[in-house]
A and B are shown apart, each in its own frame.
Chain A
Amino acid sequence: MGEPAVIFDRVWKKFRRGERHDSLRDLFPSLVRRMVRRQPSGDLADQEFWALQDVSFEASRGEALGIIGPNGAGKSTSLKLLTKILRPTRGHCHVNGRVGAVIEVAAGFHPDLTGRENVFLQGAIMGMKRTEIARRLDEIVDFSGISAFIDTPVKRYSSGMQARLGFSVAAHLEPDVLFIDEVLSVGDMSFQQKCLERMRENVRAGVTLVFVSHNLQAVAALCKRALVCGRGRLLFDGPTEQALTVYLQAAQTTSARGGTDQPHFRLLNAAFKTRDGRVCHTLRPHTECQLTAEIECLIDAEDFCIGIELERTRDLLYCYGTSSEELGMPLRVSRSGERIKISIDFTAHLARGHYRINLNVRQPRVGRFLLFAESAADFVIEEHETYDGVVDIAPRIAMSTETAKTEYVQPATIA
């Protein structure tokens, strides 16, 4: 293995909120202030905040590392530090080898230059020789699938086309370390698949990949290990599957959703397993599952029902929702202190992806939520057959060939 390809060692990064002095008028007061009191780098002045606090991780050669976390968690800042765009306030970070980075779609592109000219410019930014770029040009253009427009100025490209070209350049110019920051979201489905495949190939060939994305499915497909960031700190570093759980739980506790003015119930526990009793997180389509939960009544409640919502976590696509009332069960009444055991059986007729179940208690007559437990359970459906979609309809395709018996007759021309 040798030396790690990416080292991030107790890194702190400070940023300033709001405007900085941009005019000479403000220069002299600020210079005087700076001279009068020397501020140690460990303290926060007015309007400053830590974007990263004591973050350490390493990635070894040929490893694919995912970074997930909510907006503002410090993911992009980490990548900018690694690519030397920013410098840490404290600690140090280091990358061994040539870096290919896509921090933002087509950041290095100049709108007035053609696609071809931009490929050379981008390659030069990555520190490559012209001959090396020329050698790979055909491959890059082929991969991007926009060969018809390669001599058109980039300003006429759609954002999808720019993303295609940007990714193609970064992935084909033989980097040692590849940083990808949420760029796949722009491309269409087939291109995303192609990118994932390309990144996988790169990793197999020994390229170190650091992949920042909100597309949890892609992270799960690509990376064995993932980091979870939150508010500038590293919350978790380990296997991707566990990382996803940590991330979703963190999202649940900070969620602003749930229209309960005053929760009448409290979720005590929830468990998810398959019907045959296995507690597991990754399932095949059509697995029979069971969600059990226990809730406690805090305030007397009447005329309520239990509801569930099934969502795909990648995009919060609302896949299915129902309630005990809709299934024909009578509304219930409960006194404070009572505990209710709930068990919900269902079959996961779902295509691949990461899903979660939100559990709620609501009063359908007044339209009020008494409990909203976001992500009471979550699971991953794993399969490689479907192309796209949410529902697994378990199709069977039959084909037979017959020779046409009727001859094709030229329709008579109507005078």
Chain B
Amino acid sequence: MSTVEWGYRSAGQRLADDVREMLREQRDYRELLYQMTRRDLMLRYKQTVMGFGWAIFMPLVNTVVFSIIFTRVAPLDVGMPYPLFAFCGLLTWNFSASAFRFAMISLTTNTSLVTKVYFPREIFPLSAVLVALVDFAVGSVGVIALMAYYRVTPTWTLLALPVIVLVHVMFTASLCLLLAMANLFYRDVKYIFEVVVTVWMFATAVLYPVASLSNRFGLLLQLNPMTPIIEGYRSVLMRGSLPDPVSFGVAATMSAVLLVTCWVAFHRAEFQFAENV
């Protein structure tokens, strides 16, 4: 409803109203979220020969390259077969990175929809997250295959996997909302992001444990929620242990706060999109 309610509302009440409205919109438009995700998936693989195979192939190529480097050139002990370590890291990292990339341009590439039709704009970045999530699910077949090959059997800790996926998705979605909005107002964001994401990846435990870096960049590395998330996957799948409660707990709390903050900010800026795109 576009009725503007005049009169005073406290900040807390306003927040509660906004959250209620956001959730109601997502419920009303869940069909559209599904259709948009389907659309993007179809478009992505419509004229490709390998189709969803790309979702496994891309991290696999990188895994092979880094496996050669870190087993032959500069051997590295990661406590498990290195290809498994790297593939798991790359796949989970790629989920976030590709969601960021798609979400960031989702509003600016759909200008005609943004300026000509109304529906909750969150649909764009959120469907980017879902598309990346589908790729992630397909790619995880590769993890299963590698685990079978190296005879790594998961234990009961596998039950904690949904929690880790949830935190991962929440964190990814919140940055997606933020990036989509930022790039709509300032197109520089796209270029800055490319630099940031490269540096960020090497500051995260994607290809090697980051413990060795922590002396110099300690605090910064600890605040990076991607490392506990990726390590969390490795713990519950391959090490048979639960993720570190402190660092993962911080990451989970941060993700939840970030999601609410970014979503509310997005929602409140939404009505300016059509004029600024």
Interface, chain A (partner B; CB < 8 A):
15-16, 20, 22-25, 27, 80, 83-88, 92-95, 99, 101, 103-104, 107-108, 110, 112-113, 117, 120-121, 124-125, 127-130
Contact = CB atoms under 8 A, between A and B. Distances in A.
B35 interface: yes
Interface stretch (B26-34, B61-69, B154-162, B257-265): B26-34
16 contacts: A15-B275, A22-B185, A22-B186, A23-B187, A24-B189, A25-B188, A83-B118, A84-B118, A85-B118, A101-B117, A108-B117, A110-B43, A113-B43, A124-B34, A125-B32, A127-B31
B116 interface: yes
B32 A107 contact: no
B39 A84 contact: no
Contact of B116 (A20, A85, A113, A117): A85
A99 B39 CA distance: 23
A124 B186 contact: no
Contacts of A121: 32, 35-36, 39
Contact of A86 (B32, B119, B186, B271): B271
Given A22-B185, A23-B186, A24-B188, 11 more contacts: A20-B276, A23-B187, A23-B188, A85-B117, A87-B271, A87-B272, A92-B2, A94-B2, A108-B112, A110-B39, A125-B32
A108 B112 CA distance: 7
B115 A124 contact: no
A158 B208 CA distance: 54
Contacts of A107: 112-113, 116-117
A86 B31 contact: no
Contacts of A104: 112, 116
Nearest to A14: B275
Contacts of B151: none
A362 B272 CA distance: 54
B9 to A, nearest CB: 16
B117 A86 contact: no
A173 to B, nearest CB: 12
Nearest to B274: A85
A161 B4 CA distance: 39
B32 A103 contact: no
B31 A130 contact: yes
B3 A127 contact: no
B74 interface: no
A112 B43 contact: yes
Given A84-B118, A113-B39, A127 B29 contact: yes
B31 A92 contact: no
Contact of A85 (B42, B115, B187): B115
Identify the interface centre among B4, B29, B43, B271: most chain A CB within 10 Å of its CB. B4
Contact of A112 (B29, B36, B46, B188): B46
B246 interface: no
B219 interface: no
Nearest to A7: B3
Given A15-B275, A92-B4, A113-B39, A103 B116 contact: yes
